[in-house]
């Protein structure tokens, strides 16, 4: 099984990089896990709606270039479907049991995801309606994917 996390921008803080690396190591027991970073576009605070769309479209093109047709794609979106940890574990297990061995999760840039990326998505996930820094969201996501595997393996980790 292959799990890919496609993200916009780099993780600047060492403590976030260390946490992500720890979950990558833990996940290696269960799957091939890979984080792919695409460059973010410079986005000053005062952008027009058209300029914001242009930034999202450029980042979206970079994201789409990292996807293949066979991947089952989840986009992380504030208005996406909210899962409990157990529901996410069940979803991952069902998808991989029924022929989807390449799962990709996408975290967009600071302005969000382009319409083209959302259209390519097979499903959405929301970690709640609050806003998290994208670097922290990567850590939270990695932990939840690890938790899903631990749940599916009957480990007491998630309690």
- Domain positions in the chain: 2-44+57-158
Over residues 125-148, the mean pLDDT reads: 94
Read off the pLDDT of residues 57-93 as tens digits, 9 standing for 90 and up.
999 999 999 999 999 999 999 999 999 999 999 999 9
As a whole-number percent, the residues of the chain with pLDDT over 90 amount to: 89
With the CA atoms of 18, 22, 25 and 29 taken in that order, what torsion angle do they form, in degrees rounded to the nearest 10?
-160
CATH number at 2-44+57-158: 3.40.1280.10
Neighbours of 51 (CB within 10 A): 14
- Look up the pTM and report it: 0.95
């Amino acid at each position: 099984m292959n799990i890919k996390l496609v993200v916009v921008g780099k993780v600047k803080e060492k403590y976030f990089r260390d946490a992500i690396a720890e979950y990558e190591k833990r996940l290696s027991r269960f799957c091939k896990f890979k984080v792919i970073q695409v460059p973010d576009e410079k986005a000053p605070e005062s952008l027009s709606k058209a300029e914001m769309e242009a930034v999202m479209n450029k980042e979206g093109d970079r994201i789409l270039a990292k996807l293949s047709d066979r991947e089952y794609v989840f986009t992380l979106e504030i208005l996406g479907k909210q899962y409990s940890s157990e529901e996410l574990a069940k979803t991952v297990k069902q998808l991989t049991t029924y022929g989807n061995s390449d799962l990709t999760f996408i975290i967009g840039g600071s302005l969000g995801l382009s319409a083209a990326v959302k259209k390519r998505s097979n499903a959405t996930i929301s970690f709640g309606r609050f806003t998290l820094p994208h670097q922290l969201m990567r850590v939270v996501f990695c932990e939840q994917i690890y938790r899903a595997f631990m749940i599916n393996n009957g480990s007491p980790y998630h309690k």
